[in-house]
Amino acid sequence: MKTFKSRFVECTGYFFILLFCYASISKILDFENFQIQIGQSPLLSTYAGIVSYFTIIIEIAIAFLLAIPTTRRIGLYFSIGLMAAFTAYIYIILNYSEFIPCSCGGILEKMDWNTHLIFNICCILLAIISFFLEETDRNKNYKRTISVVLFMLVFSSGMVVLLYYTSEYMIKKENNFIRRFPHHGVVEIDSYDLKFNSFYFAGHDNDKIYLGNYTSPFLLIALSKDLKSYEQYVLKPENYKTFKWSSTKIKVAPPYIFLYDGKIPIIYKALIGQTEMKIVSVNDAYFSDLENVDNDHIALRYKSSNTGSNRLGLLNLSEDNRIKLDDSSLDGNGLFETDGQLLYSPFSESLIYVYYYKNRFDVFDKTISQKAIHHTIDTISRPKIKVVEMKNGIKKMAAPPQIVNAYATVQQDILFNRSNLIGRFELRKHWKNNSVVDMYNISKREYLGSFYVENRGDNKMTQMLATDQFFYTLIGSEIVRYRYAQVISKQLTRESPKPIKE
C-alpha cells in the first residue's frame, strides 16, 4: 500500500515530467525562434548553439529518468540542478543584466520575470523535498543528503554564473557576430514630412537639427528638436559665381556653419544664424569630406597622389603652411578599399573613420598623430570588392560591393553604426522590415548592443543622427524622432557637445 510520502514523490515526478516534456516539445516545434531568443539573451549569447540543444536534451533525459521508478531519485536530483540553473539565470537577468529581454515562451509565456523566479523557487523546493523523502527512505544519513543537494545547487548556479561572465566578455570584446537587442531600443515619438527625399543631416546644436539639401546646395533648414517648428536659410557664399560647383555640402559644427566643395576646392565659414559666408580656404587641397576640429583646424579626407587611396589630413587656418597630409593615416590600398565616413566627437575630441567595406573603424586624436584600431562585430576583415581599370585609366567597380558599414553617427563616446549584414541567430524577415543599428563604446572598446529602425512603407532609413536626448532618422521624405530606451540613455551622460570658442 502506497503511503502519503510515496504518493507525494510520485506526483512530484509526474509534475516535472509534464513540465519538462511540454517545455522541450515547445522548443522543438519552434526551435528557430528558441535559438534566436537564446542568441539575443544578455547572458548566454555566445553559447546559444550549445545551450539551445543541451537544454532540450537534458529536459527530455530528466523526463525519462523520472518516468522509471528505479531512476526517479536520479531524475529528481537532476531536476533540482536544472531548476537551480534556470533560477540563477533569471536572478542574474533581473539584477545584473544591462537589459531585461522579452519573457520566454512555452508553458511560462504569460509570466513576467519576477513570477518566473517565484515559480522556479517553488519547483526547486518541491524537488528538494521529494528527493529528500526518496533518499532518506534508502539512506538515513541526513547530512550526506543535505550535502549532495547543496552541491547540486551550487554547481548548477555556478555554471550559469561562469557562462554569464565568459559570454559577457566575448560579446563585448571578442564578438563572433552575435547581436543583442535590448527590448524596444528606440521608440518612435513623432515625425515631420519634409516633402522631398533629398535632405541630409548637416548637424545639430542644443536646440535645433540642421538639414542640407543635395538638389539645393545653399539651402539650410533648422528644425526645432521637437520637430514643431523650422527656419529656412539660403546661404550666400562670397564670389560664388566665379566657381564651378559640383559636390557641395553643408556641415554644422557649433557655433559655425561650413559650406564646402572639395572638387573646387573651397571652404566657407560663418556663425550659425548668419547667411553671408566667407572663404577660409581655397586651393589648399582637394578633398572629399571634412570635419571641423576646433577654431583653427579642419580634418580632411583626400585622395593621395602617391597611393591613389583615401587618406586623412589637417588644415590649419592660422598658419601660412596650412596643410598637413598624412599618407599613412588610413590602412588599405585603392580608393574603394579605403572608402568610408569621417566623423568627429567634440565630447572626446577624437576623429572616427568608419570603413564601408570591412569590419573596422579607426579612432584618431584631433591632430591625427595617434590612432586606435577598432573592429565592428561582423567577420568581414577584407573588402569584398572587384575593381577593373577602364581604357582611359579610370578604375571602376566591376560588381556591386558588399557594404559592411552603411552609415554612422557619433554622440559623446558612443558610435551608432548602421550595419548592412545579418548576424547569427537573426530572422531574415526582421531585415526585410527594418534597418539595424549597432552601438559601440569607443573609449571602452566595447560592443553595447543593437536596435532596429522600422521601415516606413517601402522606404528604409537612409541617414541617422544621434543627440544626447533623441535619435533621428531620415526615411523617404520624413524625419522621424525617437526616444532611447533606458539601457541606451544611461550610456549617454547628457552633456552638451563642447562648443568651439569664437
H-helix or E-strand containing 67? Answer: helix 48-67
DSSP 16-34: HHHHHHHHHHHHHHTHHHH
Q: What domains does the chain contain, in order, with CATH numbers?
A: 4-173 (no CATH), 186-489 (2.130.10.10)
Q: Is the peptide bond before 346 cis (omega within 30 degrees of 0)?
A: no
CA 174 to chain centre: 15
Write out the three cell numbers for 369: 598623430
Interatomic CA distance for residues 482 and 209, integer angstroms: 14
* Close Cβ partners of 365 (under 8 Å, ≥ 6 residues apart): 349, 350, 351
Show contacts of 47-55: CB within 8 Å, 24+ apart: 47/163, 47/167, 48/178, 48/424, 48/425, 51/163, 52/27, 55/24, 55/27
Strands 323-326 and 340-345: unpaired
Cα 249 to Cα 265: distance, rounded to the nearest angstrom:
12
pTM above threshold 0.85:
no
Cα–Cα distance, 356 to 188 (Å, whole number): 27
Non-local (6+) Cβ contacts of 176 within 8 A are: 46, 170, 377, 379, 424
Tell me the C-alpha distance between 408 and 354, whole Å.
7
Q: Which residues are registered as beta bridge partners of 482?
A: 188, 471
Sign of CA dihedral 188, 483, 232, 265: negative
Strand 236-237 and strand 276-282: pairing? Answer: parallel
In the structure grid, which three cell numbers stand for residue 192, read together?
A: 515631420
Residue 75 CA to residue 98 CA, distance in Å, equals 34
Cα torsion 303, 309, 314, 320: sign: negative
Three-state secondary structure string covering 252-272: EECCEEEEEECCCCEEEEEEC
Which residues make beta-bridge pairs with 261?
248, 266
The Cα 485–Cα 502 span in angstroms is 36
Spatial CB neighbours of 175, under 8 Å, sequence gap ≥ 6? 377, 447
Give a three-class secondary structure readout of 148-201: HHHHHHHHHHHHHHHHHHHHHHHHHHCCCCECCCCCCCEEEEEEEECCCCCEEE
If the chain, 502 residues long, is cut into consecutive pieces of 10 residues, what is the mean pLDDT of each piece? Answer: 79 93 89 77 74 91 93 93 92 77 55 86 93 78 86 92 76 71 89 95 96 96 95 94 93 96 96 95 94 94 92 91 89 90 95 95 94 91 76 64 93 95 82 93 91 93 95 97 91 58 44
Q: CA–CA separation, 5 vs 278, rounded Å?
A: 92
For residue 217, say if its preceding peptide bond is cis, omega within 30 degrees of 0: no
The two beta strands, 371-374 and 387-389, are unpaired
Q: Which residue do the cell numbers 529656412 mark? A: 232
Q: How far apart are CA 121 and CA 126, in angstroms?
A: 9
Minimal CA–CA distance to 358: which of 336, 328, 342? 336
In 10 A of CB 205, how many CB atoms? 18
Task: Give yes or no for a contact between 162 and 51, defined as CB atoms under 8 angstroms apart.
Answer: no
Report in angstroms the alpha-carbon separations of 114 from 41, 89, 90, 100, 119. 17, 12, 8, 11, 9
Buried b / exposed e across 70-102, counting CB within 10 Å, b at 16+?
eebbebbbbbbbbbbbbbbbbbbbeeebbbebe
| Cα angle 329-331-337, degrees, rounded to a multiple of 5 | 125
Helix (H) or strand (E) segment spanning residue 474: strand 470-475
Determine contact, residues 420/406, Cβ cutoff 8 Å.
yes
Counting beta carbons within 10 angstroms of the beta carbon of residue 454, is it exposed (0 to 12), middle (13 to 18) or buried (19 or more)? middle
Distance CA 323, CA 454 (A): 43
